[in-house]
Amino acid sequence: MRQTAGCWLLLSGLLALCGASGALSSLADQVIWAVNCGGEAHTDTHGIHYKKDPLEGKLGKEPQKNNEGAASDYGMRLPILRSSPEDQILYQTERYNEDSFSYEVPIREEGDYVVVLKFAEVYFAQSQQKLNSHFVVKDLDIFDKVGHSTAHDEIVPFSIVKGKLSVNGEVSTFNGKLTVEFVKVCGLYVMKGTLEDVPKLQPHPGLEKKEEEEEEEEYEEGGEGKKTPAAKHRVQSGPRTPNPYAADNSSLMFPILVSFGVFIPTLFCLCRL
């Protein structure tokens, strides 16, 4: 009996392991294209293989001198919240441009797809993205949304049916290539599936509390204890924490003013001599 129980235990363990492995492989199989922008190739904890940035090494270092931006590894010195230690590299490097740059993703089959755009604010403050000239994420302020050095994914579903690309209620002709255009991005992948198939980032208690407070503020107590939608004219108070890149230069003016205060009387006395 003990040997039989041991065999069943071993068999159940193997089945559980195979099930977990199957889940990882099925998710990875759904991904048709992935890139670690500005960085090296990487396979994440979900089995998704991100290729090395294909634009790396082909362009100048100054983004304004080309249309494909420049790579940055500035975030490598920072720990990234909401991401597992193994996958922080996907948010620590990025590609950026003063104007915009793009990646082209070949798609051969029709169906439902999702593009997952990965961000972490380590330097700049805004970003916007297009899919085949359709704006899908506009004026994204990552610092205001999740804070500094914190992983954030923008998930955009789209579909391709009968040669037409549909995204955010807009439709355009599809020529077999999905052009994803950015101002900055840390990484991305395109997978066949729906929103429910996309793995979620780790929870962030501070963000969850903020979202709950925002939901409560959207309603106010009405007559007889009923909650009614609150007015939408609230003034935004800005980021939760001071922007680490906003330099206060007011203190620099004090020595300059003192210098002028000493220089002018001295000059006046010299002129009288």
Minimal CA–CA distance to 54: which of 95, 88, 92, 90?
A: 95
Angle at 55 between CA 27 and CA 125, to 5 degrees: 80
Pairing mode, strands 70-72 and 94-106: antiparallel
- In terms of pLDDT, which residue wins out, 36 or 227? 36
Q: Could you tell me the pTM of the whole model?
A: 0.66
pLDDT tens string 99-111:
888 999 999 999 9
Q: What is the mean pLDDT of the chain?
A: 74
User: Does the pLDDT at position 192 exceed 50?
Assistant: yes
- Phi and psi, residue 101, nearest 5°: -145, 175
Minimal CA–CA distance to 142: which of 123, 114, 167?
A: 123
Contacts of 128 (CB under 8 A, 6+ apart): 100, 135, 137, 138, 139, 140, 182, 183
For residue 24, give both structure tokens: 């990882």
pLDDT > 70 in the chain, percent: 59
pLDDT at 146: 86
CATH architecture label of 27-197:
Sandwich (2.60)
For residue 179, give both structure tokens: 């052009």
| Strongest mean pLDDT among 69-73, 76-80, 85-89 | 85-89
- In terms of pLDDT, which residue wins out, 253 or 51? 51
Contacts of 225 (CB under 8 A, 6+ apart): none
Residues belonging to the chain: 273
Residue with tokens 């804070």: 147
- Sequence-distant contacts of 142-148: CB under 8 A, at least 24 apart: 143/239, 143/243, 144/238, 144/239, 146/82, 146/121, 146/204, 146/207, 147/81, 147/121, 147/206, 147/207, 147/239, 147/240, 147/241, 148/121, 148/122, 148/241, 148/244
Q: Give 263's pLDDT tier (boundaries 50, 70, 90).
A: low
pLDDT tens string 14-67:
334 344 445 555 889 999 999 999 999 999 999 999 999 998 765 444 444 456
Q: Which of 16-25, 81-90, 139-148, 263-272 is the least confident region?
A: 16-25
- Phi and psi, residue 252, nearest 5°: -75, -20
Q: Give 10's pLDDT tier (boundaries 50, 70, 90).
A: very low
For residue 81, give both structure tokens: 């919240």
